[in-house]
Structure 1
Amino acid sequence: MFLLAQLQLDPGWLTALASLLMGIAGVVLLWRGRTALRGTTLVLPWAWSLLAWLALCGSEIAIGVMQWWEVSHSDDQIRYLAAMTLFCPQLSQVGAKRPQWIAWQGVVAILLLVLWAPVFQVWAFSSIGHVAPGWIWGMFLAALILAGFLNNFPTRFSPTALCLAVAQINMTYYYLPLTTTEVSVKASLIAMALGLIGIGSAIQGGLGRPENLRAEDRAWIDFRDSFGAFWAARVMLRVNDSAARYEWGLWLSWNGFHQVEIVGSLPEFREGVSEALISCLRKLLGDFVDDAWLDARLPRPNKRKKGLEDLEA
C-alpha cells in the first residue's frame, strides 16, 4: 500500500483490473464471513457492506473502462456515489435491534438518497458538473465518519474500524473542511486496499477474544464487539440498573462482570443471582440474537427459580 501511494496513476484498464481483482477478493472474504453472523440482526448490515464494497470497486472499474474507451464521464460524481455507500453498514448497525431492525433499513436507504443529493443537484443543472456540496455538508460527513469510528473502535474489531474510517476519508477528503484536492484514482485504490485489509481482519476475529472467560463475560464481550459501543452502553446500563434494583452485588463494566458484595454470601444467594443474571442477559440480548447464539454462550436459566430475574421489556 505504501508503494501504491508513491505511484502516479491515471484511470485505465490497469486500474480497472486492479479494482476487479480486489473486488473479487473482498466478495470472497465477505461471503466467508456471513456464517459468523447467522442468527443475529447483523445480517442486514452485512448486506449493506457487500453493496458498499461492490459500489466502491465497481465505480473504479467503470471509470477505468470508460477512460480506456474514451467515453465521456464525470469521475467525481461516480466516486462520490460510491463513497456514500460506505456509511450504510454503520448506519444499519445502529438500528440492529428487534423488532424495528428490518424497518430501519428503509431509514438507511432514505439517508443514502439524502447523501446522494449533491449529485442529484448537479444532474438537475449540468450532467458533467463537479460535486461541491459546501463546508457544512463536509462537516456532516466528518461527523458520520467520527461517529462510526467511535462506535466500533473500542471493540476487538478496532483494526477494521480504523481501516474503514481511513478509507472513508480517502473517498471524501475533497468534501471535508479545509481540503481542496479532488479524490483521485490512487485514493480510491488505497481505500479499496484498506477495505480489503479491514474485511480480512474482521473475518479473522480482529484482535482476538480473551480466553477462559465465564459464560456471562463471553456472551457480553461477543455482543459488545459485534454490535458496537452504542448498543453495548445501552445493555450495560440496563444490566447495572437491574443489579442495583435487585441487589445482586455485582456490576457490568466494559470488560465484563465484577463482584462487589457477593463474595462470602450463602451458596443459595449466589446461585439465585447467577440464574437472575442469565435470565436478564438472555432477555436483553435476545433482541439482537437468536436462541442458538445465546445457547452457544449462556446456559438456559432454571425456570423453577423465581424472584430475582429482571423480565421487564
Structure 2
Amino acid sequence: MDLGLLLAAIATVLLGIAVINIKSTTLFAPWCWLVVTIWGIALAHTLNNEILGSSGSGDAFTSSRQKYWIEAIQFGAHALVFCPFMSLLGAQRPQNKVWEFIVFSLWLILILPALETVLLSPGQLADTQGIRAWFMLVLIAVSAINVILSRFWISGILIGISQFLLVNPHLPNWSHLHYSHNMEAGLSLAIASFLVAFLQPKPDRSGIREEDLVWLDYRDMFGGMWALRIKERINQSATMYDWDLRLTWTGFVTADGSKLPEELPARTQEILHQHFYNLMRKFVPRDWINTRLNKSKSKLTDVSDPTVLNP
C-alpha cells in the first residue's frame, strides 16, 4: 500500500474520533476541509507514482507533459492546507456556510499559477514565487499561532512545520529544503499533532467557575484568533455599558481585576446570558454550553436563549 494513502487513512481515523465532539459546532466545516486536504495530497502523490511507473514506454514529450500536469495537480492539492484555517476564520453563525465559498475562492487564487500554466502555457513550470509565496508563509505562521495560543501549543508547532513541509517548494526560494520526502514527513507530522492533541491530558478545571469553564473550553477548541475576538467584544461592551465585569485570557474578573464573588449578582448573571453565552451560541450549540454549567439557574433555556443572536 502506498505510504501516502496509509498516512491519510491513519489521519482520517483520528479525525473520525474527533468529529464526535465537533459535529454540532461550526468547526465541522474546517474538519471537512482537513479531510479533503489530507486525501487530496495523498491521492495526488499516488497518481504521480502510478504515472511515473507507467511512463517508461512513452515518448519523452508525452512524459514531459505528464510531469507538468502532475506538478500542477500536486500544487493544487498542497494549497489545500490553508483551507481548514481559512474556514475556521469564518466559523461564526450565520455567515459560516457562505464563508466556505470564500475559502474555495482563496484556494483558486493560490493555485492560479498552476491553472495558467496548464491552460495557457502547457509544458512550462508554474511560477509560484513573488507575493503569493510570501502570503503562503504568512498563512502558515498565523494558522500555527492560532493553535499555539490554546493549550494545544505542541500540536500548533507540529501543524506549522507540517504545512511548511507540504508547500515548501512553493514558498520563497530562501526557505526551500530540497528534501525528497516532504509529503510523507508533512503528513506524519500532521498525524503526530493529532495524536498529541488526543493524548495530552486535560487540565483539572473542576475548581474553576462555570462561566470560566465555558470560556476556556471554547478558547482551546477554536484557537487564539476567535478567543481574542470574543474577549475584545466582551470588554468593549463592558466598558461602553459600565459593567462590573471583564474577560481575561484565563477567565472573568471584576472591572478592577479582582475575583468575581462566589454568587454572581443578578445583573452580572444577566450580562453573561444576554451577551457572553449568546456570542458562544454563534459557534457551539446550547447543549455544549449547558454541559459546562452546573447551577440549574445558569443553564440556558428557550427563554434565556433567543433565536436572534445579538453580539
Q: TM-score range by the shorter chain?
A: 0.7 to 0.9
Please say if residues 93 and 283 of structure 2, whose CA atoms lie closer than 8 Å, have aligned partners that are also in contact.
yes
Q: Is the 8 A contact 1:171 1:183 kept in 2?
A: no
Return the offset for 1:303: 9.6
Look up the equivalent residue of 1:116 and give its one-letter code. Answer: I
Change (3 A) 1:51 1:125: same
Helix, strand or coil at the partner of 1:179? helix
Structure 1 residues 61 and 214, CA gap change in structure 2 (3 angstroms): same
Secondary structure of 2:205's aligned partner: coil
Instruction: Find the aligned partners of 2:299 and 2:73 in 1 and give their Cα distance.
Output: 51
How many Å separate the matches in 2 of 1:183 and 1:222?
A: 40
Label 1:201 to 1:125 Cα distance change in 2 as closer, same or farther (>3 A).
Answer: same
CA deviation string 1:227-248 (max 9, x = no partner): 2222211211222233334544
Structure-1 separation of matches of 2:87 and 2:81: 11
| Native 8 Å contact 2:162 2:186 kept in 1 | yes
Name stretches of at least 5 consecutive residues in structure 1 with no aligned partner: 1-15, 306-310
Residue 59 of structure 2 is matched in structure 1 by: none
Q: What residue is the counterpart of 2:28 in the other structure? A: 43
**Cα–Cα, structure 1 residues 68 and 303, in superposed 2: closer, same or farther, change >3 Å?**
closer
- Equivalent residue for 1:211, pick from 196, 205, 224: 205
Q: Kindly state the Cα deviation for residue 267 of structure 1 after the two structures are TM-superposed.
A: 8.6
Deviates more, 1:133-142 or 1:195-204: 195-204
Q: CA deviation at 1:67?
A: 2.2
Q: How does 1:79-158 map to 2 (within 5 A)?
A: 79-158=74-153
Question: C-alpha deviations, 1:250-306, integer Å up to 9, x for none?
Answer: 32111212235597999986344234324422111111111111111233259999x
Of the three residues 39, 47, 62, the one matched with 1:54 is 39
| Number of equivalent positions | 292
Q: Describe the SS at the equivalent of 2:169.
A: coil
| Mapped partners of 2:237, 2:49: distance in 1 | 57
C-alpha contact (below 8 Å) 2:279/2:310 kept by paired residues: no
Aligned to 2:60: none
Distance 1:187 1:245, change over 3 A: same
- Aligned-partner Cα distance in 2 for 1:186–1:268: 58
Give the drift of 1:125. 3.7
Q: How far apart, in 1, do the equivalents of 2:225 and 2:257 lie?
A: 29
TM-score in terms of structure 1 length: 0.82
Is the Cα–Cα contact under 8 Å of residues 144 and 160 in structure 2 kept in the other structure?
A: yes
Deviates more, 1:70-79 or 1:261-270: 261-270
- The reply on whether 1:300 has 2:299 as its aligned counterpart is yes
Could you tell me how far apart the structure 2 residues matched to 1:261 and 1:117 are? 52
SS at match of 1:103: helix
Q: Is the 8 A contact 1:156 1:207 kept in 2?
A: no
So what's the TM-score if we normalise by structure 2? 0.83
Q: Tell whether 2:280 aligns with 1:281.
A: no
Matched, 1:22 2:1: no
Q: What is the alpha-carbon distance in structure 2 between the residues aligned to residue 24 and residue 193 of structure 1?
A: 11
Secondary structure in 2 aligned to 1:241? Answer: helix
Closer, same or farther: CA 265–93 of 1 in aligned 2, 3 Å = closer
Contact 2:218 2:227 in 1 (8 A): yes
Tell whether the 8 Å contact from 1:275 to 1:302 is kept in structure 2 after alignment.
no
For residue 38 of structure 1, what is the amino acid of its counterpart?
K
Contact map agreement 1:160 1:198 (CA 8 A) in 2 = yes
Deviation of 1:58 (Å): 1.4
Aligned twin of 1:11: none
For 2:134 and 2:272, locate their aligned partners in 1 and report how far apart those are by CA, in whole Å. 43
Counterpart position of 1:7: none
Q: Is the 8 A contact 1:279 1:301 kept in 2?
A: no
1:193 shift after superposition: 0.6
Task: State the SS of the aligned residue for 1:174.
Answer: helix
State the match for 2:234 in structure 1: 239
In structure 2, the CA distance between the partners of 1:265 and 1:92, relative to structure 1 (3 Å rule), is closer
AA matched with 2:14: L
SS of residue matched to 1:102: helix
How far did 1:86 drift? 0.4
Equivalent residues of 1:223, 1:232 under 8 A apart: yes
| Corresponding residue of 2:221 | 226
Flag the 1:27–1:263 CA change in 2: closer, same or farther, 3 A.
closer
Deviation at 1:19, TM superposition (A): 1.3
Match in the other structure for 2:168:
173
Q: Structure 1 residues 123, 28: CA separation in 2 closer, same or farther (over 3 Å shift)?
A: same
Contact 2:245 2:268 in 1 (8 A): no
